[in-house]
Amino acid sequence: MKKLLLIALLQSSFSFSQITVNSTDFAAGGDTVRISIASGNTLDYSTTGSNQNWDFSTLVPTSQVLDTFHSTSTIPLFAQVVFGNFAPAKYHASYFREATTLPLSQLTFLPVTINNIFQYTRLTADSMTSVGYSMVINNNEIPYKSDTIEKNYEFPIQYGNTTFSRGYTKIDMNPVYNAILKQHRVHSSSVDGWGSITTPYGTFNALRIKHEINEIDSISLTVASFPTTLPLQNPLRREYEWWTNGEKEPILKITTSEVQGIENVTNVQYRDIYRGLDAGLNDLATNKIAFFPNPVSEELNFTNDGSIQKINIIDLQGNKVIEYDNFKVQSNKINVSSLHKGFYLLQIETSKGRIVQSFEKF
């Protein structure tokens, strides 16, 4: 009996326990975090609750990105007024990063070029909020503060917590172009699990957060001399995140979309070490090559300095599904509407080497 009690005590001393996550566990301005992208159509993201043991050790990375949290000292000139040191306190950003929540993939019919799209975030001891965007429209840099500031997280994060928030941003493209994009977001979160999580990166104590984001967007413009408002399609989005202490981003994040009651995985990413899957990534900055949007439905847009020589799109089975030669123009588009939904590798050959990046077709 004493031996059994001793074994039980030893086992409990090595068990995982509930943790608390604070703002200091999140990335700050100037940080970079290595992220691996994986496929995940068969992942179990529904199991949660107390004292869980989530095992995602079989994830296989298909590509990697270096997530960059740009310091406020490098905020673009005109955005400094709106989000910099002299902005009102609630809009004073802690960092900015590439924006992924605007439905710009649905606006390819607009006769404008939109790039350098950034989202601005304010991180305090109490919360993390999204305070607005900036973008370059036809070479004009324009900042847009959110009229209603969305709260993404509330600290401290503990098991059982729930958060509800709304966000509203009006992106008026005038006078560059007579169009107004309106973004409405309803964001609810619940910390619905705790335990241990294992990925190829390691095993950690973790809290599981489930985000549910319902977004209703529209674009107002003039068509044939008549003012027109067009709704934009945004399926119900869910994000399942596993957070631990000191890792700056989630150990694992699974994103899904729900269409007609069916939930499908659209993205799987996890914290990782460098695995050599983003070879040539620095050339994107050197050659000023950009592609957007990601995820994409119809067309991938390219902006570059003329150094692109060839583009291949490869599926996860290694099959070349699209090929472009002599791709030497300032900007162009590739129609990917014929591709099946899922993840693909974008292989770009430039005058300075090869770049491999991933994108999602939805």
CATH number at residue 312: 2.60.40.1930
Residues 257 and 300 in one domain: no
76 prior amide bond cis, ω within 30: no
Residues 170 and 61 in one domain: yes
- Which comes out higher in pLDDT, residue 248 or 100? 248
Q: Is residue 295 part of a domain?
A: yes
CA 162 to the chain's CA centroid? 22
Residue 161 lies in domain: 23-271
Given this model, what pLDDT does residue 351 score?
60
Domain boundary among 236, 271, 306: 271
Domain boundary among 246, 271, 296: 271
Structure token pair of residue 67: 């997530």
Residues 57 and 171 in one domain: yes
Q: What is the pTM of this model?
A: 0.74
Residues 62 and 197 in one domain: yes
**Based on the structure, what is the number of domains in the chain?**
2
- Which comes out higher in pLDDT, residue 17 or 96? 96
Structure token pair of residue 325: 């030669």
C-alpha dihedral sign at 165, 297, 63, 285? negative
Residue 219, pLDDT > 50, answer yes
Residues 346 and 214 in one domain: no
Residue 222: count of CB within 10 angstroms of its CB: 10
Instruction: Give the Å distances, CA to CA, from 359 to 6, 65, 135, 250, 297.
Output: 52, 11, 21, 20, 11
Given this model, what pLDDT does residue 329 score?
46
Residues 338 and 259 in one domain: no
- In this predicted model, what pLDDT tens digit does every residue of 129-177 receive, in sequence order? 999 999 999 989 999 999 999 999 999 999 999 999 999 999 999 999 9
Q: Is residue 15 part of a domain?
A: no
Q: Is residue 288 part of a domain?
A: yes
Residue 354, pLDDT > 80, answer no
Residues 153 and 252 in one domain: yes
Residues 315 and 206 in one domain: no
Residue 14, pLDDT > 80, answer no
Residues 61 and 209 in one domain: yes
Residues 247 and 161 in one domain: yes
Residues 209 and 345 in one domain: no
Amino acid 177 reads Y
Domain boundary among 271, 297, 315: 271
Residues 168 and 30 in one domain: yes
pLDDT mean over 297-317? 75
Instruction: Give the Å distances, CA to CA, from 311 to 17, 66, 325, 328, 346.
Output: 48, 22, 7, 10, 7
